[in-house]
Amino acid sequence: MILRPIPDHAALLVDGTILAVADLHIGLEEQLAEAGVHIPSQADKMSKEIEALAAEHGAKTLVVLGDVKHFVPKMASRERRDVYLLFARLQEKFDAIYVAQGNHDGMLRHVLPRSVKFRGPRGFVIGDVGFCHGHAWPYRKVMASKALVMGHNHPAVAFRDPMGTRAIQPCWMRIPFRRRHNRYAKLPKEAVVVPALNELCGGVPVNDLRVNFLGPLFDPALLKTDDADIHLLDGTHLGKLRDLRLDASFRSEDYRQ
């Protein structure tokens, strides 16, 4: 089992043949337009990025770790169109496509091409690796895998200089599991939290003192979050999360999930 983040991309290569991405949030542009910010759809850009990475690395299977769409619970017409066209295009490039249902993905099943393997919020397993979005408790068989790969939290790391200037950069989290938990007889060695593919999502500053991680898997009795290794997209290893804590002065409304 080899889990390799692709440098400078929010994409993970699993065993050399599986490309995993998370949190496309197609339709987010429409919400921004309602607030007066007009940005072209990111669906075509993300599709091209996925295609290019698959061609470069020889990936044959695509896994999308949930939150394909953005609006909850409705689905806008442009959002519906962009979702279908993205997957219709990608199905020609991959032997198999899996989608793990995210908390934003109501009605998604009815829009996807029939060839796409849609899986519920409790996840699924390919080989030795479990995949899920991260907003629900996974199946026991998913948690019996050697590693768990998930999205949902849009991880990023915050920087703040002595003058108070702040910056946020997307990051990877590799978090060790504890040895046992009362809900699961077996646990993976680690969880890999994949940053959002859609750059418009921003990120949750995982090292902010007031960060509130989403989803049941961030139970302190399950994950040793303070021992998480934090890497920037370019591969830079920043160290353990416990050593990176700071007061980034963010409010919950300063970022979206």
* Domain containing residue 81: 3-254
What's residue 46's pLDDT? 97
Range from 52-56, 68-72, 99-103, 178-182 carrying the lowest mean pLDDT: 68-72
Is the pLDDT at 255 greater than 60, yes or no? no
Is the pLDDT at 177 greater than 90, yes or no? yes
Q: Do residues 211 and 203 lie in contact, with contact meaning Cβ atoms separated by under 8 Å?
A: no
Reported pTM: 0.93
Is the pLDDT at 164 greater than 90, yes or no? no
Average pLDDT of the residues of the chain = 92
Range from 40-44, 128-132, 180-184 carrying the lowest mean pLDDT: 40-44
Q: For the chain, how many structural domains are there in total?
A: 1
Phi, psi of 34 (to 5 degrees): -65, -25
What would the mean pLDDT of 94-107 be, rounded to a whole number? 94
Query: Using CA atoms, how far apart are residues 226 and 196, in angstroms rounded to an integer?
Result: 21
What's residue 250's pLDDT? 66
Range from 35-44, 58-67, 71-80, 117-126 carrying the lowest mean pLDDT: 71-80
What's residue 179's pLDDT? 92
Q: Is 116 left (phi over 0), alpha (psi -120 to 50) or beta?
A: beta
pLDDT-derived band at 167, boundaries 50, 70, 90: confident
Q: Do residues 198 and 39 lie in contact, with contact meaning Cβ atoms separated by under 8 Å?
A: no
Percent residues over pLDDT 90 in the chain: 75
What's residue 16's pLDDT? 95
- The position carrying tokens 């908390």 is 103
Is the pLDDT at 256 greater than 60, yes or no? no
What's residue 42's pLDDT? 86
What's residue 73's pLDDT? 65
Q: What is the pLDDT of residues 45-75, one digit of tens each?
A: 999 999 999 999 999 999 999 999 987 666 7
Q: Are strands 61-64 and 96-100 parallel, antiparallel or unpaired?
A: parallel
What's residue 29's pLDDT? 75
CA gyration radius, the chain: 18
Report the candidate in 133, 148, 229 with the shortest Cα–Cα distance to residue 181. Answer: 148
What's residue 37's pLDDT? 74
